[in-house]
Structure formats: structure tokens, C-alpha cells
Amino acid sequence: MAQLSAEADLLRGRFEQALATADRVRDANGARIAALAHIGLEDLRSAQAAFEEGLRRSGDRSRLLADYAIFLLEAGDSDAARRLAGQALDIDPDGLDPLFANARVAQARGNLSDALRFYEVAAEVWPESRAALLGRIGMLGELGRTREARPLIDAFVQRAPGDPDALYLQARLAAEDNDWRAVRSYLQPIEGREDARMQMLYARALIELDLPEQAMPRLQAQLRRYPDRAVARRLLARAQLESGQSAAAYATIRPLATSPRGTSQDLAIFTSAARTSGQPSQVEEALERAPAAERLGTLLAAGDAALREQNWRAAIDA
């Protein structure tokens, strides 16, 4: 009874109460709940201490190991996360938390096919799980297997019509078909949500529909919130360039185009912005950190051609 009460407090964000109740649960799950409550209170040191305490306690440790794996993954220790996630799955091969943990770890390590496999098992064993279905759809999308994702998205839409995630997934499919009016239509009812994925896709649709001025405030807000997000910077520079704000586009894209993370698309935007804002000599700065010379000419030529033709899909794959 105490465990259920503590779990309920966690879900309601009542972390202090969850801690107090979890103290009466003296097995591994009690320590797991305490660790999650500490995370909610942003006390990561105490959270790790609680996880470690749970490893020494009796009882089913599969969920503790799974949550500890995610904790370590987010802390940057993917090797330890993989080890703990594997231990969790050994204890409970059909457990939802162990399956999710292994999927998350596999995805973070770039093993997308493995991540998909874990989500597929989770969706099969737990057909009522929304997260399992969304994870499976997400991995199919990451792997470029959109055709396989479509019927799953249709099933999710039928299960939860009007759900924000359902609308977003429908918009993603419309984007794959280059139907930007449909993308805008799907996302308009939820355009005020603070969801970076939705905001990025909605802004992209506005740009594709020749409404860059409407996209810019959204992208500026995203960039203020996530200054290292390359997609937001790239899209904002594109919107500024399309709006005739070449100097602003130059200032926006310059940090990305002159960094090791800069792509051929970033270089193409930078080149165009520099030339149209009267700063063509600055292009050399970006070229110094660009890919090898034998690749660079082809990349820049392709990017410039796409920009001249206003072929933004070819010039910028956001």
C-alpha cells in the first residue's frame, strides 16, 4: 500500500511526500521511488545514492536497474547504462521498464535497429502501452521506414483522435509527402504547445508556405531556449534570408557555419547571406573549417544551386 501511495505522489509531482512514503518501503522499489523523487527535486547526488542503496536491498530490482540505467545514460555514462539495462532485462525479459531502458540506451548509442526491436517487443507484450507504440513509430521514422510507420500511426490516431502526439505524427507524414498545407492544418490546433518538435515542424511549414515572417518569432524563441540547437538556427537563418534580412541571416548562421558542426547546407546559407549582405570575404572563414577540399566544391555548388533555384528542400534538410 505504501508503495502505491508513493508512486501516486511521484506522478502528481509531490516529491517530498513521495520521499517520506518511500522511506517505509524497505525493498529495492522503495529506493527506486526515493531516487526518482530526488531527481524531481533536482538533487542528483542523493538520487544516485538512493539508486546505489537499492542495489543492496532485497526484492525485484528490475525497475530499479532500468531507471538507474536511464539516470546514468543522461549523465553521459552509456557503458554503465547498457550494463544495468541488460541486467534489468535478464531479471524481467518482458518488463516494460527494462525494455524501454534498453531501447533508450540502444538509441543513444546509435543502434537504432536494436532500439526498434526492444520497442516492438514492448508493443507486443504491452499492447495498451502508448509509449511502446510511439517508440516503435519513432524508430521506424529514424530508420527511414515511413511506409511501415504509416499503419501504426493510423492505428494510434484511431485510438486517440485529436491527441497532440497523433496530430504531430500526422503532420510528420504530411511533411514526408511535401504537403505543407496539411502540416500547418494538423499543427494549428496545438501551435501554442511548448513542444520543440511541433514548433520546429510548424515553423518549417510556414517557411515552405512562403510565410517566413510568421516563422521567425517561433524560431527565435526556440533559439533563445536552446541556443545549441542547429536545426533552429538553420531554419531561422533561412527564414531571415527569405525575408530579405541578409545581415540578420548572416549573424544567425555564422556560429554554425564556422563550427565543426557546420554542414554543406549551413555553408550554402552562410555564403548566400554573406554575399547579399556585402560581406563576401567572410566566406573564407567558413571554408577553413569545412570538409576536405575535394568534397567541398561539390557540396557548395549543390547548395548554391539549390538556393538560387529556391529549392529549400534540397538546400536545407531540417
Q: Which pTM value belongs to this model?
A: 0.76
Query: Over 90: is that where the pLDDT of 318 sits?
Result: no
59: left (phi over 0), alpha (psi -120 to 50) or beta: left
pLDDT surpassing 50 at residue 312: no
* Whether residue 306 has pLDDT greater than 60: no
Residue 5 has pLDDT above 50, yes or no: yes
| Nearest Cα residue to 199 out of 214, 181, 179 | 214
Between 295 and 7, the higher pLDDT residue: 7
- Cα–Cα nearest to 18, from 246, 2, 110, 263: 2
DSSP string, 103-168: HHHHHHTT-HHHHHHHHHHHHHH-TT-HHHHHHHHHHHHHTT-HHHHHHHHHHHHHHSTT-HHHHH
**To the nearest whole percent, how much of the chain has pLDDT over 90?**
65
Cell numbers at 186, concatenated: 494538423
Task: Say which residue the cell 553521459 belongs to.
Answer: 76
Kindly tell me if the per-residue pLDDT of 10 is higher than 90. Answer: no
Mean pLDDT over 38-65 rounds to 95
- DSSP states of 9-78: HHHTT-HHHHHHHHTT--SHHHHHHHHHHHHHTT-HHHHHHHHHHHHTS-S--HHHHHHHHHHHHHTT-H
> Average pLDDT, whole number, for the chain?
88
Mean pLDDT of 51-67: 95
Q: For residues 284 and 257, what is the distance between their CA atoms, to the nearest angstrom? A: 11
| Grid cell at residue 97 | 521498464
When pLDDT is cut at 50, 70 and 90, the band that residue 310 belongs to is very low
CA angle 195, 200, 204 (to 5 degrees): 150
| pLDDT digits 0-9 by tens, 210-219 | 999 999 999 9
- Whether 153 has a pLDDT exceeding 80, the answer reads yes
Q: With 60 as the cut, is the pLDDT of residue 297 above it?
A: no
Contacts 24+ apart (CB under 8 A), 79-87: 81/105, 81/108, 82/109
Kindly tell me if the per-residue pLDDT of 296 is higher than 80: no
